C-alpha cells in the first residue's frame, strides 16, 4: 500500500506561519517590506535614510525579517543589502500588501 504524500514539506508549519505573521505585524517592518518590494531590494543605509531612523534600528528590523525567511542579505561592496527571499509566502505577501496596505 502506498503512503499519501504530504504537503507539509512544502508548506510552513502553523507555528512558523504564526511567527512570520507576528514579524510582519510591526508597522516599521511593513514599511521596510514595501520599500524592498518597490526597489527590488534595499541597502541598510538607504532604508535608514528613507525611514528617518538610525542604521542600528533598521538593521535590527532587517535581521528579524531575515531570520523569519522574508528577506535575504546580500553584499554590494561594503554595503549590506537585502532582497526579498523568493518563496511562495513572499509572493502571496506581495499580492496581499499591494491590495490591502
pLDDT in tens, the chain (101 residues): 444 444 444 566 899 899 999 999 999 999 999 998 888 888 999 999 999 999 999 999 999 999 999 999 988 888 889 998 888 999 999 899 888 87
Contacts of 59 (CB under 8 A, 6+ apart): 44
What pTM did the predictor assign? Answer: 0.82
C-alpha cell read off for 59: 538593521
pLDDT given at position 3: 47
Residue 72's DSSP bridge partners are 83
All structural domains of the chain = 15-100 (1.10.10.10)
Residue 10: per-residue pLDDT: 57
Looking at residue 76, its pLDDT comes to: 80
The β-bridge partners of 74 are 81
Contact criterion met (CB below 8 Å) for 91 and 28: no
Q: Are 100 and 62 in contact (CB under 8 A)?
A: no
- The answer to whether 51 and 58 are in contact (CB under 8 A) is yes
Q: Which stretch of DSSP H or E encloses residue 78? A: none
CB 43 within 8 A of CB 76: yes
Using the CB atoms, write b or e for 1-17: b if 16+ within 10 Å. Answer: eeeeeeeeeeeeeeeee
- Confidence (pLDDT) at 100: 87
Amino acid at each position: 500500500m502506498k503512503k499519501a504524500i504530504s504537503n507539509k514539506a512544502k508548506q510552513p508549519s502553523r507555528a512558523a506561519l504564526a511567527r512570520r505573521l507576528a514579524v510582519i505585524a510591526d508597522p516599521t517592518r511593513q514599511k521596510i517590506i514595501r520599500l524592498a518590494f518597490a526597489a527590488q531590494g534595499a541597502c541598510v543605509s538607504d532604508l535608514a535614510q528613507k525611514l528617518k531612523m538610525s542604521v542600528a534600528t533598521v538593521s535590527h528590523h532587517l535581521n528579524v525579517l531575515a531570520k523569519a525567511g522574508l528577506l535575504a542579505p546580500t553584499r554590494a561592496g561594503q554595503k549590506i543589502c537585502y532582497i526579498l527571499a523568493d518563496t511562495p509566502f513572499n509572493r502571496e505577501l506581495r499580492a496581499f500588501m499591494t491590495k490591502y496596505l
